[in-house]
């Protein structure tokens, strides 16, 4: 039995990042710890999150260039507050503590930390009093974002104060000999005006990183990883036609050549005309090494009567694997065959697979939705990357813009956009409504500016009136969001006349629908998909 790394706590990282420039973020449970990782990667330095229970020796064995201690909701004085091994501060590795990370550093090294009775939350003016290194090139006064309870009142012995705000006398500190730094504010959020440059100073000037993590380096490392994992065996790649699986397929093809077969599963949950388009595109490009499988009947049968979104995902994850296993055996691949998937980092994080503190939001079908037992070894060359990073790799590999810039489409397809049980009839209604949304948004030239735009078939039916007759039809919700990586999202302010066109076309072209609503919730608190 082989399981994907994602499901194993503390699983080794893939080789996606050249280890020469690794930065680790010790996660103390901040709401957006992954944002720190993203910001570090924007400086072309590879970065990963690790849970605060990971032993120091394990961290140091990976030879990080720097370690960042994240924020977190705890007070250092709380009985079960997460701590860290103080030996970290003498390990010779530069450390940056952010918010809770800074307070913890101050507390462990015998500075003075005031227990937070009044929280400071929001924008504050940061006054830089020492601009030697961390604040090099930063104005004396700049805006920063604060969100903390505890407060550092005095730095530990040997530390100097670098900046203050009206409420925080020690908004930043440093022990330059040991290269230990702390900031009370959040450099990773956009409200900290010079956050990017401050992080850049830490990574490039203080920790000596060079920014070697380019799309080209990432692509090369991913090709090497697939080659190593598959050895001289053969593999199939799960190809859906979306950007992630297409990039994974090109990488796997570079690594394995004709030892790779791309399998496209039409599970009956795809959008209007999608199976035909994918089959046409990839048969032309890949010839005999592209195998389409029509499997709608078995997926719809397995989903019959299922209401619960998590069950839907598990059923689809399981069914996918069974189809791939059957294809693998038909192609003479098992035992020991590999299945290459385009799983991304957010899928892993949201499925609770980073050994982090994040709750399981949804079992993304190709991570948490996989069955316990399977005969294929899962290889995921993109599992440490965010979507925009995958797009950059896709461009580097020469994929056409039509594929690189396709909006994401979830593996479980339309099944998680139909609230309640999936039926062929509902699928047909949703396909038509969704087609209108996509066509109108694209005609308005807004496609590239949005993360996703689609229709949802809500479980609601309501009364309407058409041509003097009473109707009782489906309610379709239109969803359009902007986002950087799908982890957070904002509802898109679509022009009213566009919404009007979408609504009236859906009502007139899809007879079963008599009401269209627009979803104006962001993520959080909602998620992008409805299920």
- Candidates 501, 507, 457; CA nearest to 478 is 457
State which residue, 184 or 366, has the beta carbon closest to ligand XMP.
366
In whole angstroms, give the CA distance from residue 237 to residue 519. Answer: 35
Identify whether the C-beta of residue 93 lies closer than 8 Å to the C-beta of residue 203.
no
State which residue, 313 or 431, has the beta carbon closest to ligand XMP.
313
Residue 530 Cβ vs ligand XMP, minimum distance, rounded to whole Å: 8
In whole angstroms, give the CA distance from residue 344 to residue 350. Answer: 10
DSSP state of 268: S
Residue 505 Cβ vs ligand XMP, minimum distance, rounded to whole Å: 23
Beta bridge partners of 378: 339
Peptide bond into 524 cis (omega under 30): yes
Three-state secondary structure readout of 60-126 = HHCCCCEEEECCCCCCCCCCCCCCCCHHHHHCCCCEEEECHHHHHHHHHCCCEEECCCCCEEEEEEE
State which residue, 4 or 64, has the beta carbon closest to ligand XMP.
4
Q: Point out the catalytic residue in the list 186, 253, 364, 365.
A: 186
Told to judge if 186 belongs to the known catalytic residues of this protein, a careful annotator would answer yes
Beta bridge partners of 141: 127
Told to judge if 99 belongs to the known catalytic residues of this protein, a careful annotator would answer yes
Strands ordered across the beta sheet of 290-294: 290-294, 260-266, 235-238, 338-340, 377-379
State which residue, 54 or 341, has the beta carbon closest to ligand XMP.
341
**What does the binding site for ligand XMP look like in residue numbers (CB under 6 A)?**
313, 347, 350, 361-362, 364-366, 408, 410-412, 452, 486, 523, 527-529
- Candidates 45, 16, 384, 385; CA nearest to 203 is 45
Residue 452 Cβ vs ligand XMP, minimum distance, rounded to whole Å: 6
Q: Point out the catalytic residue in the list 47, 99, 144, 209.
A: 99
Residue 271 Cβ vs ligand XMP, minimum distance, rounded to whole Å: 12
Told to judge if 364 belongs to the known catalytic residues of this protein, a careful annotator would answer no
Identify whether the C-beta of residue 252 lies closer than 8 Å to the C-beta of residue 235.
yes
Residue 407 Cβ vs ligand XMP, minimum distance, rounded to whole Å: 8
Identify whether the C-beta of residue 311 lies closer than 8 Å to the C-beta of residue 210.
no
Q: What is the Cα gyration radius of the chain? A: 25
Identify whether the C-beta of residue 185 lies closer than 8 Å to the C-beta of residue 99.
yes
Residue 478 Cβ vs ligand XMP, minimum distance, rounded to whole Å: 15
Residue 379 Cβ vs ligand XMP, minimum distance, rounded to whole Å: 16
Identify whether the C-beta of residue 247 lies closer than 8 Å to the C-beta of residue 395.
no
State which residue, 159 or 320, has the beta carbon closest to ligand XMP.
320
In whole angstroms, give the CA distance from residue 246 to residue 259. Answer: 17
State which residue, 181 or 386, has the beta carbon closest to ligand XMP.
386
State which residue, 104 or 344, has the beta carbon closest to ligand XMP.
344
Q: Which residues are catalytic?
A: 99, 186, 188
């Amino acid at each position: 039995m082989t399981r994907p790394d994602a499901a194993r706590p503390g699983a080794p990282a893939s080789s996606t990042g050249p280890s020469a420039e690794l930065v680790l973020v010790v996660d103390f449970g901040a709401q957006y710890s992954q944002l720190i990782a993203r910001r570090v990667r924007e400086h072309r330095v590879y970065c990963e999150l690790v849970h605060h229970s990971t032993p120091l020796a394990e961290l140091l064995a990976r030879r990080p260039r720097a370690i960042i201690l994240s924020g977190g909701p705890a007070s250092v004085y709380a009985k079960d507050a997460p701590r860290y091994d103080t030996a970290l501060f003498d390990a010779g590795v530069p450390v940056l503590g952010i918010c809770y990370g800074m307070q913890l550093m101050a507390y462990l090294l015998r500075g003075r930390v005031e227990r937070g009775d009044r929280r400071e939350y929001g924008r504050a003016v940061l006054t830089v009093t020492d601009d030697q290194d961390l604040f090099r090139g930063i104005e004396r006064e700049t805006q920063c974002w604060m969100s903390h309870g505890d407060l550092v009142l005095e730095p530990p012995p040997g530390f100097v104060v670098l900046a203050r705000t009206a409420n925080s006398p020690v908004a930043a500190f440093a022990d330059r000999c040991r290269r230990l730094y702390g900031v009370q504010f959040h450099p990773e959020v956009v409200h900290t005006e010079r956050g990017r440059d401050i992080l850049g100073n830490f990574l490039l000037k203080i920790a000596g990183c060079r920014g070697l993590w380019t799309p080209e380096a990432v692509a090369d490392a991913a090709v090497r990883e697939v080659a190593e994992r598959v050895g001289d065996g053969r593999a199939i790649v799960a190809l859906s036609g979306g950007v992630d699986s297409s990039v994974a397929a090109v990488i796997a093809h570079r690594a394995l050549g004709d030892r790779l077969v791309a399998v496209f599963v039409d599970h009956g949950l795809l959008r209007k005309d999608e199976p035909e388009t994918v089959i046409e595109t990839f048969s032309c490009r890949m010839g005999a090494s592209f195998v389409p499988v029509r499997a709608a009947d078995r997926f719809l049968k397995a989903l019959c009567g299922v209401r619960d979104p998590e069950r839907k995902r598990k059923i689809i994850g399981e069914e996918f694997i069974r189809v791939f296993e059957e294809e693998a055996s038909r192609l003479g691949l098992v035992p020991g065959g590999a299945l290459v998937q385009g799983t991304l980092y957010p899928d892993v994080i949201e499925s609770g697979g980073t050994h982090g503190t994040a709750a399981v939001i949804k079992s993304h079908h190709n991570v948490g939705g996989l069955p316990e037992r399977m005969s294929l070894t899962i290889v995921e060359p993109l599992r440490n990357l965010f979507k925009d990073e995958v797009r950059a790799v896709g461009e580097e590999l020469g994929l056409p813009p039509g594929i690189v810039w396709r909006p994401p489409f979830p593996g479980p397809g339309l099944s998680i956009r139909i609230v309640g049980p999936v039926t062929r009839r509902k699928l047909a209604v949703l396909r038509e409504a969704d087609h209108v949304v996509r066509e109108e948004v694209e005609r308005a030239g807004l496609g590239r500016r949005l993360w996703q735009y689609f229709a949802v078939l809500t479980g609601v039916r309501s009364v309407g009136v058409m041509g003097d007759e009473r109707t009782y039809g489906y309610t379709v919700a239109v969803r359009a969001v902007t986002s950087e990586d799908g982890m957070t999202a904002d509802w898109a302010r679509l022009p009213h006349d566009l919404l009007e066109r979408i609504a009236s076309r859906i009502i007139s072209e899809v007879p079963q629908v008599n009401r269209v609503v627009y979803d104006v919730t962001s993520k959080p608190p909602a998620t992008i998909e409805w299920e």
